[in-house]
Amino acid sequence: MVEQFEIVARVANPPPSLLSKYTRKEREFFLQYADFVHRTLNSEGVREKLRELMQMENIRLTRELDFRIMVFPARPLTGRPRSTLHGSYNQDAGQISLYPLKLSRLWIRREGSSLFQTPWEDLADNQKKVLSEAWLSAISTLIHEVLHVKFENRGYSRYSEEAIVRKLENQYAQEWIQQTESLVGQVTAE
């Protein structure tokens, strides 16, 4: 049983074949995005909220969790081209993966290049919106995937488990967002 829980997040190393599918500006943008998520997950506010969640939900770990921050967005889910994967939990490996939002290449080239290096107060409104969405996605996906850890050996069907996890995610995400929203500006341009 793992008594002390700490987030030890790492940025995944994308394979060269995936790197070659993106322009230099796009690669730089997504590497900065991954670093932003890394700083967010390692902020004391998020770490404390995660410890509280695990206590409240009585989540007991039998092994360390590996938090991977993926550099590039996931491909659309099979059969659902409008659905994009934001995260996943691999039970066998004890690995939680968080994916960035899928953003248009045009937006990345025009407005994304300075997004993570500019202080919050100097960002344009649409940049603030994207940064807030990136932060919200990372937080809610983290909550969602950690809740899957709770139910991993309960014998629920995939659909039943997903419904329960989504309900709990919505409940906790509302609370987290209200209590940690100030972190968005703090983790930019560090």
pLDDT tens across 157-179, in order? 888 899 999 999 998 988 887 76
Q: Using the predicted structure, report yes or no on whether residue 187 has a pLDDT greater than 70.
A: no
DSSP state of 187: S
Q: Which residues form the domain of 29?
A: 5-187
pLDDT tier at 147 (50, 70, 90 boundaries)? very high
pTM (predicted TM-score): 0.87
**pLDDT, tens only, 24-46:** 999 999 999 999 999 988 888 88
Q: 98 in the Ramachandran plot: left (φ > 0), alpha (ψ -120 to 50) or beta?
A: beta
Q: Using the predicted structure, report yes or no on whether residue 186 has a pLDDT greater than 90.
A: no
pLDDT at 152: 82
Q: CA of 103: how far to CAs of 1, 93, 100, 106, 142, in Å?
A: 40, 29, 9, 9, 20
The tokens describing 137, both together, are 């996605």
Tally of domains within the chain:
1
